[in-house]
Copies of this chain bind each other. A is one copy, B any other.
Amino acid sequence: MTRLSFRQKVHIAREDAIVNTVMRLLAEKGFDQMTVDEVAADVGIAKASLYKHFASKEALAAAAMVQAIGLALTQVESEQAVAGASAVDKLKAITRWTLQTQLAGAMPTLPAENSSLRNALIANRAYMDRLMTLSDELGAWIVQAQSDGAIERQLPPEAVLFTIYARACDPVLGFLKAGGRYSDGQIVEWVMATCFNGLAARA
């Protein structure tokens, strides 16, 4: 760990502020509807200054997505540390965290097939590396949980992985919240139940 000058610290702090703003705006409006002007205004600097930190709108969003995956990885680490938790317990915990984060408006939307972000992200080494790290960690839990008989063995592990990833952009949360009749906690538990137990009644 090299020592940083005061100037460098300020620089990093500013970039963190930018990335956090972008993460929130991405969650709120999505990539297409988020404008660079808006980001600059929110951070409180001129747009041209933003472009000194990040080369393009895509780079801005990629940095936010890298940060988002970083948060997920931190969450994974903290669940690894829980003693006595089974693999499926950990999968449920990370899924619940994902739902809570999305409901709190802090989860930048995953890039769908058609997203303009998608190509930029696929070309981004840092993003892809972290995404693969995350997938490997979750993949190990999934295989373990299937071997435990806790997760359906018929499903290919990647189908399970994608299903959990998809919770990050599940519109059901927003639909239920829009009704205004249920607490966030209640909504999360219902979506957790449909995800792991399914819509059909268990015998």
Q: Contact between B114 and A30 (Cβ–Cβ < 8 Å)?
A: yes
Shortest Cβ distance from residue A177 to the other chain B in the assembled complex, whole angstroms: 9
- Cβ-neighbour of A199 out of B114, B155, B176, B199 (below 8 A): B155
A196 x B200 contact (CB < 8 A)? yes
Given A150-B200, A201-B149, the answer on whether A163 and B88 have CB atoms closer than 8 Å is no
Q: What bracket does the count of chain A residues touching chain B fall in?
A: 35 or more
Complexed CA–CA distance, A114 and B114 (Å): 16
- Enumerate 25 A-B pairs (CB-CB under 8 Å) in ascending A order: A30-B32, A30-B112, A33-B116, A109-B112, A110-B171, A112-B169, A113-B174, A152-B193, A152-B201, A153-B201, A155-B199, A156-B190, A162-B171, A162-B175, A163-B172, A163-B199, A166-B171, A194-B195, A194-B198, A195-B198, A196-B199, A196-B200, A202-B202, A202-B203, A203-B203
